[in-house]
């Protein structure tokens, strides 16, 4: 388990599956992620459990430090050991947990995990152009815009533009890792900040 100022990221447990199932079938949240397709619980469980056996992806469950219930997840996928690259996605499951900095903290920790444990050089993501809150969070942890794909997806009756973003490994001489900086800013996190490999884009 990896500790941040207000969250932890770590392995999934069976108690997390019902929440994952609800988020996968949230049609409102899907409007900022892709075309909605209902997903059954069996597929959600299989998707999560298969991640631990797939070297091309890693899933990190996000929780508040004060509550063991899952509030979201980070999915690192398309991991390529030759090109040292991967794609990343994040979901904070419920609106009450959004806009509180949890996603930013989780992304910062996940990027440090990509650099320090997966030895990656580049991590990319895609985001809907109108999802300005997510774009701000991505920029805050080091992602930069690389391009725009116009009218790429048809979602909820509208054509959607997709923003391409990427982050690159930081030079340790120039900058401190994002997640480590968050931990160092909160002294109570330092003793318990132990990195561990975990085990997962949402099933369609």
- Active-site residues: which are they? 138
Helix (H) or strand (E) holding 70: strand 70-80
Rounded Cα distance between 163 and 180, Å, is 27
Question: Within its chain, how far is the Cα of 1 from the centroid?
Answer: 15
Q: How is residue 15 annotated by DSSP?
A: G
| 122-128 and 158-168 strand pairing | antiparallel
Place of tokens 């725009």: 148
State which H helix or E strand residue 163 sits in.
strand 158-168
Reading the block at residue 45, the tokens are 């469980």
Cβ atoms within 10 Å, residue 96: 9
The neighbouring-strand residues paired with 92 are 72
| Whether the Cβ atoms of residue 102 and residue 6 lie closer than 8 Å to each other | yes
Rounded distance between C-alpha atoms, residue 192 and residue 195, angstroms: 9
Tokens for 78, please give them. Answer: 């398309």
């Amino acid at each position: 388990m990896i500790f941040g100022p207000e969250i932890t990221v770590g392995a999934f447990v069976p108690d997390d599956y019902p929440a994952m199932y609800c988020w996968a079938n949230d049609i409102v949240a899907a409007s900022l992620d892709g075309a909605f397709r209902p997903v059954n619980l069996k597929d959600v469980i299989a998707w999560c459990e298969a991640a631990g056996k797939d070297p091309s992806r890693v899933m990190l469950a996000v929780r508040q430090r004060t509550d063991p219930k899952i509030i979201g997840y980070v999915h690192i996928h398309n991991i390529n050991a030759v090109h040292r690259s991967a794609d990343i996605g994040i979901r904070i499951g419920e609106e009450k947990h959004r806009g509180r900095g949890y996603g930013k903290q989780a992304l910062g920790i996940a990027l440090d995990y990509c650099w320090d444990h997966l030895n990656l050089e580049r991590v990319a993501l895609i985001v809907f152009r109108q999802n300005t809150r997510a774009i701000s969070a991505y920029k805050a942890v080091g992602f930069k815009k690389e391009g725009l794909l116009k009218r790429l997806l048809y979602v909820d009756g509208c054509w959607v533009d997709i923003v391409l973003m990427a982050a690159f490994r930081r030079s340790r001489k120039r900058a401190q890792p994002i997640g480590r900086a968050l931990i160092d800013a909160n002294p109570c996190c330092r003793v318990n900040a132990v990195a561990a490999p975990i085990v997962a884009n949402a099933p369609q």
